[in-house]
Amino acid sequence: MRGECDCFVRCSPIYMYEFPDVRIPIGDVVEKFTDFLAINFEAFFDFIFIIASGMIKGLEAGLLAIPWWILMIIIFLLGWYFTNMYGGLLFSFFIFLIGTFDLWPETMTTISIVLISVVLSLVIGIPLGILSAFSKTMSSITRPILDAMQTMPSFVYLIPVIFFFPLGNVPAVIATIIYAVPPVIRLTELGIRNVDEEVVESAQSFGSSTTQMLVKVQLPQALPTIMAGINQTTMMALAMAVVGSMVGAQGLGERVLYAINRIDISLGFEAGISIVFIAIIIDRITGGIAKRLQKHRRNAA
C-alpha cells in the first residue's frame, strides 16, 4: 500500500503538490505606506514625541519626588478603602519589598509609562466604545480591527513605531496603547448596549435628549462594565512592560531584558516579581472600585 502511494505521488503532476509561484505583496504595501507617513508627517510625529515624552518625564519626576513612606501610606489607604485593611497592609508591603530590591526608580518609570498609556487608551477607547454602541456601522467597522489588534503578536507593534519615533519610552507607550485599547472599547460598547431598555425608555419618556440620556443614565448604568474594561486595559499595559524594553523603554522591563541577556536569575526574578506586585495592586484596587460602583448602583435602584 505504501509503495502504491509513493508511486502515485511521483506520477502526479508537480503543480498538485507545490504552491503556485504567486505573491500578493501586502507587506510591501504596508512598508511603503509606513515610509510615506514617516516622510510626510515627520513634524506631526515629532510633536507627539515631545508631548508624550514630556508627560512621561513629568509624571516620573512627580512620583520620584514623593517620599517612599508617603507612597506606602497612600497605597495602604487605597487598598484599605477599596478592599480591606489586610489588603492595604499587603499592598504597602509589596511596595516596601520593591524598594528593598533597589528597583525604586525603575518602578516609578514603569508606573509612569503604564499610567500614561492607560490614560491615553481611555481617552481613545471610551469615546470609540460609545460611538460603537450607538452606531451599528461603527461597530461593524471597529469589530474586525479590534479582533486583529488583539490577536496580532505584541512584538509586531514595535516594528512600525520605531520608524516614527526615536528609541525610548515614547514608542513603547504608542505600542502599549495599540495593544491595550481594545478591551476598554469592547466593554464600553457592551456596557452601554446592555443597559436595561426599560430604563432608557423611561428616560426618553421624560424628554431626555441623547446626550442627557448618555450622561445621566447609560454611562452610570454601564460604569461597572467600563471599569472592568479599564482593569483589563491596565493589565495589558503592564504586560507590555518587558516587550516595550526592546525598543528602549526604561523601567522594570529594561531590568528584565538586561537579566535575560546576562542570565542574571536574581535580577530577573526581582524585576519580574516587582511587575507582578504592581499588577496585583492595580488589579485589586480597580476591582474594588468596580465593586463599589456596582454596590452603589444596586442601592440607588
Q: Domain holding 159: CATH number? A: 1.10.3720.10
CA-to-CA distance for 67 and 44, rounded, in angstroms? Answer: 37
Q: Does residue 252 have a pLDDT over 80?
A: yes
Structure confidence at residue 91 (pLDDT)? 94
Q: Does residue 277 have a pLDDT over 90?
A: yes
Residue 33 included in any domain: no
CA-to-CA distance for 222 and 202, rounded, in angstroms? Answer: 17
Residue 217 included in any domain: yes
Q: How confident is the model at residue 288 (pLDDT cuts 50, 70, 90)?
A: confident
Residue 163 included in any domain: yes
Domain that holds residue 84: 48-300
Q: How confident is the model at residue 40 (pLDDT cuts 50, 70, 90)?
A: confident
Structure confidence at residue 3 (pLDDT)? 52
- In this structure, are residues 125 and 188 in contact, taking their beta carbons and an 8 Å threshold? yes
Closest CA to 217 of 235, 228, 205: 205
Residue 24 included in any domain: no
Say which range, 2-16, 40-54, 67-81, has the weakest mean pLDDT.
2-16
* Structural domains counted in the chain: 1
Q: Tell me, what amino acid is at 48?
A: I
Residue 13 included in any domain: no
Residue 106 included in any domain: yes
| Contact partners, residue 278, CB within 8 Å, separation at least 6 | 94, 98, 107, 110, 111, 114, 238, 252
Residue 125 phi, psi (nearest 5): -75, -45
Q: Does residue 195 have a pLDDT over 90?
A: no
Q: Does residue 14 have a pLDDT over 60?
A: no
Closest CA to 232 of 277, 195, 286: 286
- For the whole model, what pTM was predicted? 0.84
Burial class (CB in 10 A: 0-12, 13-18, 19+), 104: middle
